[in-house]
Structure 1
Amino acid sequence: MTSAAPLSGIRVLDVSSVLSGPLTTMLLADLGAEVIKVEPPLAPDFTRGTGAARNGMTAYFYNTNRGKKAISIDGRHPAGQKILSQLADRSDVLVQNMRPGKATGIGLDPEECLARNPSLVYASISGYGQTGAASGDPVYDYVIQAVTGMVDAQRDPSTGLLDLTRHFPADKITAHTMSEAILAALFARERDEDKRGQHIEVSMHEANLAFMWPDSMMQHSIVGEPDEPGLYPADFYRVYPTLDSAIVIMPLMTPSKSICQAIGRHDLIEGGQYSTLDSSNLHDFQEIIADCVKHWSSDKAIKTFRNHEVPVGEVLSRANIHAHQQAIAQNSILENNDPVIGPIRTARPAWRMGRTSELLHDTAPQFGQHTDSVLSELGYSSDAVAKLRTNGVIA
C-alpha cells in the first residue's frame, strides 16, 4: 500500500452550504484533500441546526463535513472578501453552490479568481444552470425531484398517487456528479502543459436528468411510437409483508419456476400460465406470492428464496441497517468517537483501492474552529485577527 491518499496535497476552498456542495467536498476530503469550509459569522451552515444532535453538533452536519477544517468569514465585508480571495489564490479547487452571480458578491467571481490563479478548478453548483428563464430561481431537492421525473417515477401504479422520495437524492446525485467533474478537471490540469484549471458547472437539474434517464426514461426516449411498448420493470416493484416485517423480491428478474418452487406451488409450473410473465399475468402472480409470504417470518422467507436462488432482501429499519451481516463483514458502517458529538456511526467511503491507503476521517469541525490557524497561515498576526473579530469580519 502507498502511504499518500490520492488527493494528498490538494487544497479545496468550500464556500458551499447544506448538502450538494458540502457532500462534494467531503468526498474530496475522503480522498485526501485538505478542505477548508467557510461559514458566515451570523449564518452557520443550515445542517448545524437540523436533525438529531448531541453537545451542539448534529449528525447531519457530521455526515457531510467530516474531515474538514472550518473557518468563519463574513464575505460581505471588504476585509472578509480579501481573506476569501487570498484563500482562493492558494487553492486547487473552489466549490460554491450559490445562485448564479451570487459568488461575485463575496469577491469570488469565477473569471477574476481564474485570472489570479489560472490553475484553479472553480466548481459551480446551481439549480438550473447559468442561463435560461429559471436560472435564478431558488431551488431545493424536492423541486428537482418534481421537474426531472423522479416524483412521477414514484407514482403508485395501482392508485396513481404521486410521492416524493423521502430523502434528498437530487442533492446527493449532484454532489457525486460534481466530485467526478472536479477529479476529471484536476486530471486534465495535470495533462495540460501549462497546468491550467477551468470553471466547471453542474446544475442539479441536468445532473438528475442524466441520473434518471437510463432506466426511468426507457418508455419515453424513443421519439414517436415504439415497435414494442414493453414493460417498465420498476412498475412491478413491490414490498411483501411477512409475519414480522417485510421482504422484497422481483418476479420479472427471476425465473418464475424458481419462485413457484420456493413457495411450494408446483401446480403453477405445470399449468404453464406463469411460465412467461408480462402485464397480463404479473399482478396475479404477485398476489399469489404475497398470499404465501404473509404467513412466513422474514427469516423463513429469506432462507427459502435464497435456497432457490431467488434474489431477496429483508426490509430493514434505518435504525438497524448497521447490524446487517454484510455491513458487519465489510466494516461498511464505522463507529467513530468525535470529541463533540461522541460515538457516532457513519458510512465509510464506498471505494476500496488495492494499492492506495485509505483515509478514514473520524471528526467534524466545530463552527469557526480553524479560523485563527488558517489566518495565521495567510500571514495575519494575532493582533490583526483580534481586530477582524472585533469588527465582526470573523467569528
Structure 2
Amino acid sequence: MTHHSAVPTDAPLSGITIVDLTRVLAGPFCTQMLADLGARVIKVEQPGQGDDARQIGPFVDGQSAYFMSVNRNKESIALDLKAPADRQVFEALLEGADVLVENFRPGTMEKLGYDWEMLHRRYPRLVFTSVSGFGQTGPYRTLPAYDMVVQAMSGIMSVTGAPDGVPARVGVSIGDMGAGLYAVIGTQSALLKRERSGLGERVDVAMLDCQVALLENPIARYSASGQVPGPIGSRHPSMTPFDVFKAADGWFVIAAGSDAVFQRLCPLLELPALLEDPRFASNAARCEHHQALKTLLEARLASASRAHWCDLLTRNGIPTGEYNTVPEIMAHPQVKARGMLTSVSTADGTILTVAGNPVRVGSHGATVRSQPPLLDQDRAAILAELGNR
C-alpha cells in the first residue's frame, strides 16, 4: 500500500522525500506540515512500540488521538538503527531522500554513527534537520526537554495568566509547536539554498530558542523600560482598551488599538463622558488607568448581550470578537468556510476531527491523502520499492 503516488503534482512540496525519525510532538508537527504541503514523509519508528505518542491518550478504537492529530499523510516503517540489516534499509532510504528530520537528544545520532559530517559526505544533497530542547551547542545541549520545561525556562510562563495567579502555561504546547513551525521554515530555507548550491545543509532548531524568539514584545519592552514584564491577564500591555470584557451573557473582546478607534467607540457605547475624562485622553493615560476604564465600560456592557455588542461594534469598524470555547470555534462558519477542520480515521473506521493546515499556496489546500499509519504498515511496499530501484 503506497501513498506517495497520491500526491497532487501541483502540491508545493511535491517530489520532495523526507525520512522522518521524529516522535511525540515538535518533530511530528513539523513533518506533518511538510507532508500536508505535498512532501512524501516516510516515518521510521522503533520496532515494537513505535513513536512514544502512540501510547498517549485519549484513545479511539485503541489508537491514540494524540498520535493521529500530527501524523496524517505519512508512511510508517519500523527499523532498529542498531541492527545491521535495518541500517542498510535506512541508508537505502537516505539515498533517495531530500531531508532527514530527527528530534532525539543531541549526541544520539552521533552514537548511531549518523553524524552530520558522515551524512553530508555520503549524501551531499541531504538536508539534515534536528529539533531538540536546547540545540546542538551550548552548556544545556544534552539535557532533555519537554514543552513545559521550555515554557517555564524561557519566560513565556512569566507573562502568562492572571496578575495574582500561580504560574500558568500557555494552554497549548507552544514550546513544541513553535519549534515544529520554525523547523519547517529552516528546512524549506535549506531546500531553497540547495537549489543554488546543490548541497544539503544542517538545520539546528532548539525549543528554548524558539520560545525566546516568541518573546518579541516582552524582551523589547523590558529593554526599553527596565521594568520586568509580568502576567497581566488578557489585556494588552501597551494599548487600552484592548481586553476581554463581560457582557450580560458572556465574554467578548474589544481591541481599540488607537485613539481614533477609542473616539468612535465611546459614542457607540453611549459613553460620551469618557472622551472628556483626562484619565482616558490618550493611550498612555488609558494604559495607566486601565482598571478604572474597564469598570466603567463593563457597567455599560452588562446591559446587553455579547451578540448585541459584537454586532454593533463590528458594523462600525471596531475590532471585536466573541470569546469562544473549543466546541464553539469548531462550529464557527468562518472556520468551516476556510476548511480548518479535517478528519482522519482509525483502522476500524472511526472518524476523528483534527485541526487542518492553515497554509494555502495557490490553489493547493492541504488534504488528508492518507490516514495516520499503523506501526510498520508500509514495510512491504517500501522494501519492494527499494528493491526495484
Matches within 5 A, 1:162-173: 162-173=167-178
**Corresponding residue pairs, total:** 369
Cα pair 2:239 2:256 within 8 Å, conserved: no
Matches within 5 A, 1:312-331: 312-331=320-339
Matches within 5 A, 1:125-274: 125-157=131-163, 159=164, 161-192=166-197, 195-213=198-216, 215-222=217-224, 232-233=237-238, 238-253=243-258, 255-271=261-277, 273-274=279-280
Cα pair 2:343 2:353 within 8 Å, conserved: yes
1:98 has 2:104 as partner: yes
2:168 and 2:226 mapped to 1: Cα distance?
28
CA gap 1:58/1:234 in 2 versus in 1, 3 angstroms: farther
Q: CA RMSD in A?
A: 2.5
Letter aligned with residue 170 of structure 1: G
Q: CA deviation at 1:65?
A: 0.8
Aligned with 2:22: secondary structure?
coil
1:30 and 1:352 mapped to 2: Cα distance?
10
Letter aligned with residue 18 of structure 2: V
TM-score (norm 1): 0.85
Percent of aligned pairs with the same residue? 29
Further displaced range: 301-310 or 246-255: 246-255
Letter aligned with residue 82 of structure 1: Q
Which whole-Å deviations, capped at 9, do the CAs of 1:299-350 have from their partners, x for residues lacking one? 1121122233221111111122121121122232234556545323233321
1:59 has 2:65 as partner: yes
Aligned with 1:91: secondary structure?
coil
Task: Identify which of structures 1 and 2 has the higher relative contact order when contacts are C-alpha pairs closer than 8 Å and 6+ apart.
Answer: 1
Cα pair 1:124 1:202 within 8 Å, conserved: yes
- Point out where structure 1 has 5 or more consecutive residues left out of the alignment: 226-230, 381-395
2:100 and 2:325 mapped to 1: Cα distance?
37
- Aligned to 1:301, which of 295, 304, 309? 309
CA gap 1:91/1:326 in 2 versus in 1, 3 angstroms: same
Q: CA deviation at 1:37?
A: 0.6
Cα pair 1:20 1:171 within 8 Å, conserved: yes
Letter aligned with residue 376 of structure 1: A
Cα pair 2:359 2:365 within 8 Å, conserved: no
1:391 corresponding residue in structure 2:
none
CA gap 1:256/1:164 in 2 versus in 1, 3 angstroms: same
Q: CA deviation at 1:149?
A: 1.6
Letter aligned with residue 268 of structure 1: L
Cα pair 1:58 1:341 within 8 Å, conserved: no
2:345 and 2:353 mapped to 1: Cα distance?
9
CA gap 1:328/1:137 in 2 versus in 1, 3 angstroms: same
1:333 corresponding residue in structure 2:
341
Cα pair 1:84 1:108 within 8 Å, conserved: no
CA gap 1:253/1:368 in 2 versus in 1, 3 angstroms: farther
TM-score (norm 2): 0.87
Cα pair 1:125 1:201 within 8 Å, conserved: yes
CA gap 1:51/1:260 in 2 versus in 1, 3 angstroms: farther
1:299 and 1:178 mapped to 2: Cα distance?
40
1:146 and 1:301 mapped to 2: Cα distance?
37
Cα pair 1:67 1:361 within 8 Å, conserved: yes
